[in-house]
Structure 1
Amino acid sequence: MAAPMTTPDFLDLIRASGLLDDGALARVAGDLPPEPVACAEKLVTAEVLTPFQAKQLLAGRVRGLVLGQYRVLGPLGKGGMGIVYLAEHVDLGRKVAIKVLNEEQAREKLGLERFFREARAVAALDHPNIVRLHDITQSAGTYFLVMEFVDGTDLQALIDGAGPLLYSRAANYIAQAAAGLRHAHSKGFVHRDIKPANLILASDGTVKVLDMGLARSVCNPKDSLTGTLDEDVIVGTADYLSPEQALNADLDARSDIYSLGATFFALLTGRAPFQGSTAQKVAQHQLAATPDVSKLRPDVAPGMAAVVTRMMAKLPRDRYQSAREVIIALSPWLPVDMPSEITVVLRAAETTSIVRPARAPRTKLQRLSRGARRAAWCAPVLGAGLLYAVLGGARSAQPQVVGGEAEPQFPSATEPQLLTGHSSAVNDIVFSPDGTRCASIDWDGKLFIWDAKTGTRLHNSPTRPGARGLVCATTPDGRYLLVAGERMPVLAFDWATGREVRAYQPHEKATWGIAVSPGGEYLLTSGGDGTVILRDLTTGDEIRRFEVAAKQAWTVAFSPDGTKFAAGFGDGPAPEESNFIKVWATADGSELNRLTGHTQDVRAIEFRPDGQVLASGGFDGTIRLWNLTTGTEIRRIDAHESIVERVRFLPDGRRVLTCGGPMPHVKPNEEGGTAKIWDTVTGRELACWRGGPWSDLISIVPSRDGRFAVAGGRDQNVRLWPLPAAPVDPLIYGFQLPASAVFKSTFRDGQHTDPGARALAGKGIYLHCWKNESVAEFRCDVTEARPWIGVTNLNADLSSQVLFQFDEGLNLPVVPGKRYRVRVEYRTANDAQGTAQVRNPRGNEYPALAEVRLEGTNGTWTTVEMAFQRPVGGKIDVCVLNSAVGEGNQLAVRTVEVLEIEPVK
């Protein structure tokens, strides 16, 4: 149609396009400028039209602005198969991405077949790291796909704008893409065009794989269209093409791994692996050695550069054989709070098999298909002020964060930024998962959502009249904030808008604890009625209820992998029913641990990032670390006067952030309330904030990256401040025994004569002989106020060992792929000598990762060192052996220290 000359002409074009009907036009047609350009500008300013729509109409183009039930808002991008537009459903207002097949390809059999192949490919896939397909349809001869709209930026645009990424961030993005590809490969699909432009980073930090248009099914003949239609065509992008793809060879998942490796190279260096013309790039992919990432970017760890090189091996058999193997290889550089799809892979790698917990019996509503459940959520349920509006509906817009990571700026570490507005004590506080926002709840029931970068209050969300706010939490996907307390339900709010979207049944007296499972399936609560309740987060249905004699359940927490959860309890009718922690299996509700030792209420609990250790804080002022394998206490720290209010692990898994101090009725005293950081291995206090704004703290939480913290207290303020960085080469373990641990024990026929030697096994230290015929003497004594352990072989059947077991007893956070240094301080008497080994026991085999000879020292304490890198699988221990025989030939160990070297940034 012709370009409009007058405003009436312009309005006629709007009618012809279908964007607005006569009724809608009548509401906006008054007082419009006579000139069409000015009219268009006014309608854009009034948000009646988008700039794209106005531009098309002014050019006389009306076709394609409305496709079926969708209004086209503007272009998002362009690919080989067609143009992608942002669109909106006419009735529902839901924003989607629409890919329109261009007219030339729609007329060609190859183009149309590829288009429908894309639909079949995407429709078969349902994974958080793959863009989802909603529909495939056509309107007036225009074929188009309706897909999930992802508010974010593709990784190519990210590189173009910001250059090479932080290598930890690059590893995170590649691992997420690998998780999506792992799902696609399991369904028999190969993507065939993995590149930065086909990986989109959503505003919540999720990476999603785009454009399955080149995917080729390797198991469904109906989808093997490239085999019949693309025989003489190289499909893909030259910069990221696998060698076999250029040869039109049969492709499998390893082709995508090559392209993902080339994408990893680009994220780390800011450019594609090879330069030149298209033909030159294709040749180099087949013949040239992959450039060394570490030479182009020296700060990239050699281990990470080796991962890139292996992913891009020329021969498929030399690469990682699956996307799962890629995720495992990247594990040393991944944050501890990765999505459950990746955590499952890493956990399975540690145990050599994937264990999926059985679900509880489901109700009829719970047995609905995933799509039906999502649809059920999309229908609001009337009643109680529309409390049951959806938690699982369209994704709310999140604040845009460059590179998926916020960069908050704060005042000095000694003077926190104070956020004011609460009218009573701030009882709990939480960060959004991306770190851009925080929320606080006070005893008057006021809920504030803050901008963590500027300190600006974004929302003051109403809860319930007369309510008392006690606790808040977030869903792992960062979409929803949950709060609870007295005289109020458990409420869910949209982080972005502050709107209430859901309410759950509260506990009878008050709800004190809230946790959401890492996968987002379950809601866990506890309360003043002494119960712990596990619910389905989506439906709100109660799955299990746990009751104890103690009538105060203060706190709950899920393990990082979601396989277990715990609760801390207060005073009960008898001492044995008071002040304990229970741990249950999520799958069947079976009790795994009952942890006792606190002398007053257990106020706070949290799992260590690796899930092997639980930290707790109580009204007795102590922090306690618990071995969840043995159910024993690892360490007690006298942390605060009177009360420990919160215990939070920092990302390194070694340090904890705490707050606490006296309740008002026990003042005055020396402390007056503090925030502290503790080393959980040595029990040392690493940092302390006290006095002034740090007094009377009740709640505290660190950001996910551990760079800053937010806290609230009785002075009605919220505090934001940066935390000190983790120490370089941090000490992971230091062998120490109390000065009272003195014994002399003979080990014969597999038994000790002194119970003191046997008791050390609970601390992860084993004194024994592995041969039944061996006889040895083990002695613990103190010299210069420092305890030591000595071993003497009493017969010629040498097998005596002083063993420090990292996994089963000490629960050390020694991570696969990281490098560590072990220091052993020892001395020998007379003719004694021996060896020290770092071993990797696997079944009945005990391979040594590092070994050093312990020469005779003639009674002088001497230190030796070993370095090792933990592999995937097996266990880790340090084994000290005496190779001499006879009384007086003693080898003694005084210090064993484990330090991390070249820590991941």
Structure 2
Amino acid sequence: MAAPMTTPDFLDLVRTSGLIDENTLARVSDEFPAEPIACAEKLVSAEVLTPFQAKQILAGRVRGLVLGQYRVLGPLGKGGMGVVYLAEHVDLGRKVAIKVLNEEQAREKLGLERFFREARAVAALDHPNIVRLHDITQAAGTHFLVMEFVDGVDLQAILDKSGPLLPERAANYIAQAAAGLRHAHGKGFVHRDVKPANLILASDGTVKVLDMGLARSVCNPKDSLTATLDEDVIVGTADYLSPEQALNADLDARSDIYSLGATFFALLTGRAPFQGSTAQKVAQHQMAATPDVSKIRPDVAPGLAAVVTRMMAKLPRDRYQSAREVLVALGPWLPVDMPSGITSVLRGNDTTAVNLTALQARRTKLQRALHSRTIRRAVWCAPVLVAGLLYAVLGAKSAHPQSGEGADPQYSLATEAQILSGHTTPVNDIVLSPDGTRCASVDWDGKLFIWDAKTGARLHNPPTRPGARGLVCATTPNGRHLLVAGERMPILVFDWETGREVRAYQAHEKATWGLAVSPGGEYLLTSGADGTVILRDMTSGDEVRRFEFSAKQVWAVAFSPDGTKFAAGCGEGPIPNESNFIKVWATADGSELNRLTGHTGEVRAIEFRPDGQALASGGFDGTIRLWNLNTGTEIRSIDAHDGIVERVRFLSDGRRMVTCGGPMQDVKPTGEGGTVKVWDTLTGRELTCWRGGVWADLISIMPSRDGRFAVAGGRDHNVRIWPLPPAPVGPLVYSFQFPQNMLFKSTFRDGEHGDTHASELTGKGIYLHCWKKESVAEFRGEVTEGRSWIGLTNLNTEVSSQILFQFDEGLNLPVLPGKKYRVSVEYRTTNDAHGVAQIRNPKEGEYPVLSEARLEGTDGKWKTIELTFQRSTGGKIDVCVLNNTVGEGNQLAVRTVEILEADPVK
């Protein structure tokens, strides 16, 4: 509309806007000034118009000043998605924030989808540290969100006005933001645009995360459209963009942790981590070392600066793995009056309530098991066994149990399995219902049993087909149906609740070995002994796509958690290049995404990691391999079992895997025997192992979704159910992770380094040294698999080369007298190299050793050992790694040294 030239024109526009009715106009004045501007000023003075409303009407802009039940009072901010306004409910008088999608994006499919994505995201979230969504609606063709109005200021505005924050204040704000993100991540959402401008400080001191407009659900199939539309678009803000986000990779919570770390950097230093053009910033996020906060601002404690550095690690696996871990790491710098949700995390008591009835039932079963043994064993085992069960079920706070020497005796007894009998031939596969209440097992005679996973009672024994051989079973994600396949039988579908057969699909020729249902339930994926992989429509049974291998045995298939990819692993083909590999395809069009090679035996098992960015496989070569699906390269290979790796299953945290396997005739010589193991996938460390007895001959295994227990079947014809250990706990104090660009080679001779920059490149607190002046040694800094490491080699017989990780000099780590700590050292050796790791307490020229562990030869494989110590008063603390061998090829290398809190000393 045209700008008003007279007061009557202005008043007509006021009426058209819907902001003021006739009664209000009459109440305000019987006579208005002749000039429109003066008239507007009078209405503003009478507080019936805001300055913003008056200015808009004077410009002839009245459309959108009233949106449905809301009067727009004025702008609050502006972003790429649109403008945010302060508004008031017409009837309730409640102040709200309204986010209006700009007209250009409202006309675009992508903009409108992102707008509704924000609505889905925020509507699912209810947390004091996230701005709440009240409504999503439209009026007169305008789409808008109605959100909680926060009377405050965003952190970017604070930085612009006041500069860097006090460290404790910055830590407080980041912790509150982490608490909000933790809630969002738990609901399956990644924010994707965490930055100071999207964190608002309310007048009461609460920090709230806002603008979920770039969030993508990792679990909602409706977001597949936005995934497609976003395909060639980098979203986010360059100053705070995670390295993987710039590559358009699939993102998980760790991307937000990086951006939150970059935000933390800005709050502490007053500037974003990297400077330059947008392209330069994106490149630096991917390749440049993160600047050291403590060098820019010396008053920031080294431990706090280390938190920022780890949050901003280039590789997601090297960061804190969850917002909860960020909260724990920030604990020493947080005030005692933090909100209860944060203090519960810091105290380690934010656990899920325990079903005491189920606990008592488990306790009774264990008591019966004990009673069946000798009385002498029962007398000394019973108290420990019950205590161990409480430990496993309640998730008590302690270091994770270790196998072999140093194992927790309470835990090792608590893993007594409940045995379910009834099969008369080996149990070839097993599956749990999604809610964990039922399990199904199928054997080589085609018998199918459905069990109550809590009581062990057999619920159903549905018939399959005469002469059939059961090989594989799976479940639909909605928990309604169970699928079974094998030899001489179709692919059968049963009702979990009743055990009744409801459908049959065509089987593969000879045998069906692989079976999976897509997360949305729309597709069925199968493979078999005919060398084919078939994708079917689950509803119609029609074949959608077929893939053929030269290898005639395709053992396993799997869908990614979001359903956008699927994979298959095969056996021996006619030539080596067509043998023992994995293929990954796009579900949408069947295009090949990856061909993963490296196994030297048939690929028996595959599974996607819960975040969908990696895949694990196990084979006849006894190894577990982890694959990066963004690059198609191998992340890690683990010599897992002496024989075949039968199954590989991720636990819900994505960092741990449980596997089973062992020797079979004509496959590999027996040694270790059959075992079940839990692994740390980031380090390749074996966390727990069950061997011998009922664990010796397992074929299949399946953990519950919550990771509390597992079920397994084996060649002894039995099904077993037992509790799994809780996830490792103990707050990380510090991680000596080397810089990503650390490349050097230095010969140490006559007490000096040939490369004077070698020590500078390793990072603060790390010292490369020979304690004998006569020693000659070589130190190398290299990067493999995207991770940096230091190798040391003695070149003469004066053996004294060492790497020192100093807790106090230059770092001042929070390692306190009287407290107990764990130190984790990841190392490897080549040829005949071996060495020792020591925790020392240097003082007054003496070097007493508090703890020591031998570093045995690893034949080029990375291995992790742990040491524990209690700091005494006086002196300093360091970790000393020594190579005790001589010779150019006898290298000992270190990749990670971590210090974690252990249980308090009793």
State the TM-score, normalized to the length of structure 2.
Answer: 0.44
State the TM-score, normalized to the length of structure 1.
Answer: 0.45
